[in-house]
Amino acid sequence: MRGNFAKITKILSAGVVAAGLLASASAKAAEDTIKVGILHSLSGTMAISETTLKDVMLMLIDEQNAKGGLLGKKLEAVVVDPASNWPLFAEKARELISKDKVAAVFGCWTSVSRKSVLPVFSELDNILFYPVQYEGEESERNVFYTGAAPNQQAIPAVDYLMSADGGSVKRWVLEGTDYVYPRTTNKILEAYLKSKGVPAEDIMVNYTPFGFSDWQTEVSAIKKFGSAGKKTAVVSTVNGDANVPFYKELGNQGVKAEDIPVMAFSVGEEELAGLDTGPLVGHLAAWNYFESVDTPENKKFIDNWHKFIKNDKRTTNDPMEAHYIGFNMWVKAVEKAGTTDPDKVIDAMVGVSVPNLTGGYSTMMPNHHITKPVLIGEIQADGQFETVSQTPGLVMGDEWSDYLPDSKDLISDWRAPLSCGNFNVATGKCGGKGTN
């Protein structure tokens, strides 16, 4: 039974590949366009998050075309569906670059899908814009990271909880889904908390499988851990689908934000859309963007989004803003370089600065990460976040964490003389290794 099952999944995925190849063959178009690849899962488990990003890219490309295109040419989107299948991401990326000859690719969500396409992008020398918050410990010449690095999300979030405003938390539960992002983030957070003098017995780390739905034991363990007479908070790196049952169980077991707040790094407006947020008011999330941010740029973006998707109930979220920033940066860099040739665009990208949606400017740094403000929001009864804290200035993405022993000596600088993603300042050599 089990052996057969494995064989069958293999046959099936081969079938899916074949179907995908057929579908993308139709993406042929006229010669005088600039093609932009969109590599987001439209089916399978990740479709829930990634489909929205495909839509927002189509909207941005439409808007750019309405403004007259780029370098006098129209932009053309090439959409492929890697179907939440990690090896298929690499195949689809190869197809976009070699067959469709796209100028840049916007895509990926999970870290494992990004890792799977990295070799393709460096081999075929193209550009990937990666829009999701991630665990860091990476800097590639061909990738631009427009989502948050841990120091742009996790560390400020913990700082907030430790502050008087956040409740002077002394005891920490690090709850995560069992895969690379939560594990690395929690490793960084544990080191950071210990550096702040939190004793080991005041930190509880727990992992659950993907799509976990029975949270009774975990929530009561959190309640138990929280009844030690010290202010307790949960830092949640629980991923996607598992969040809804997690929050439902929290609400049902009466864990209130005033007593044990939950700070989430993967819960945005989109995830809350499937929930009755009444019992969750006051739980927190840390992002670089909230739909509720009150700026003219954001209002325009939301209006355009509602018009484009023809549904004014659809929410916007942080990875969408990341694509907005990434796409505008790419447009600006192409205009600066006067060509879409990836090599020239990569060099032109560093230093490019475009408005973000929270009322400031984001700049591409030499380490291929961007500067962003960090916002802490509390969940409201209407499913939106209300910003309760914001970093005073912009925070620069730090790819190699200062709190991990292996990576604290590493830096990344892709500008001409150094041109290295993992330069070890202690040994003075390029080619250090991080923790991952």
Q: Which residues in this chain contact other proteins in the complex, by CB under 8 A?
A: 4, 8, 11-12, 42-45, 47-48, 51-52, 164-167, 178, 206-209, 211-214, 216-218, 220-221, 223-224, 226-230, 241, 244-245, 248-249, 251-254, 256-259, 261, 270-271, 273-276, 278-279, 281-282, 284, 378, 380-381, 386, 388
Please identify, using beta-carbon distances, which residue of 123 and 178 lies nearer to other proteins. 178
Please identify, using beta-carbon distances, which residue of 131 and 251 lies nearer to other proteins. 251
Residue 392 CB-half CA count within 13 A: 0
Parallel, antiparallel or unpaired: strands 410-413 and 420-424: antiparallel
> Which helix (H) or strand (E) element contains residue 207?
strand 203-208
Bridge partners (DSSP) of residue 361 are 355
Please identify, using beta-carbon distances, which residue of 101 and 224 lies nearer to other proteins. 224
Q: What angle do CA 221, 223, 224 make, to 5 degrees?
A: 65
Task: Provide the minimum distance between the beta carbon of 91 and other proteins in the complex, in angstroms, as a whole number.
Answer: 19
Task: Provide the minimum distance between the beta carbon of 290 and other proteins in the complex, in angstroms, as a whole number.
Answer: 13
Please identify, using beta-carbon distances, which residue of 251 and 397 lies nearer to other proteins. 251
DSSP assigned state of 1: -
Bridge partners (DSSP) of residue 135 are none
Task: Provide the minimum distance between the beta carbon of 42 and other proteins in the complex, in angstroms, as a whole number.
Answer: 8
Task: Provide the minimum distance between the beta carbon of 241 and other proteins in the complex, in angstroms, as a whole number.
Answer: 5
Please identify, using beta-carbon distances, which residue of 122 and 384 lies nearer to other proteins. 384
- The answer to whether the beta carbons of residues 57 and 327 sit under 8 Å apart is yes
Q: Is the dihedral of CA 363, 366, 369, 372 positive or negative?
A: negative
Q: What is the C-alpha separation between 58 and 43, in angstroms, rounded?
A: 17
- The answer to whether the beta carbons of residues 288 and 358 sit under 8 Å apart is yes
Task: Provide the minimum distance between the beta carbon of 222 and other proteins in the complex, in angstroms, as a whole number.
Answer: 11
Residues 6+ apart with CB under 8 A from 236: 175, 176, 243, 246, 262, 263, 264, 265, 266, 267
Task: Provide the minimum distance between the beta carbon of 52 and other proteins in the complex, in angstroms, as a whole number.
Answer: 8
Please identify, using beta-carbon distances, which residue of 112 and 381 lies nearer to other proteins. 381
Helical segments of 67-153, H only: 86-94, 111-124
Task: Provide the minimum distance between the beta carbon of 367 and other proteins in the complex, in angstroms, as a whole number.
Answer: 33
Please identify, using beta-carbon distances, which residue of 110 and 208 lies nearer to other proteins. 208
Residues 6+ apart with CB under 8 A from 417: none
Task: Provide the minimum distance between the beta carbon of 14 and other proteins in the complex, in angstroms, as a whole number.
Answer: 12
Which of 152, 149, 67, 144 is closest to 106 using CA atoms? 144
- The answer to whether the beta carbons of residues 283 and 257 sit under 8 Å apart is yes
Please identify, using beta-carbon distances, which residue of 123 and 165 lies nearer to other proteins. 165
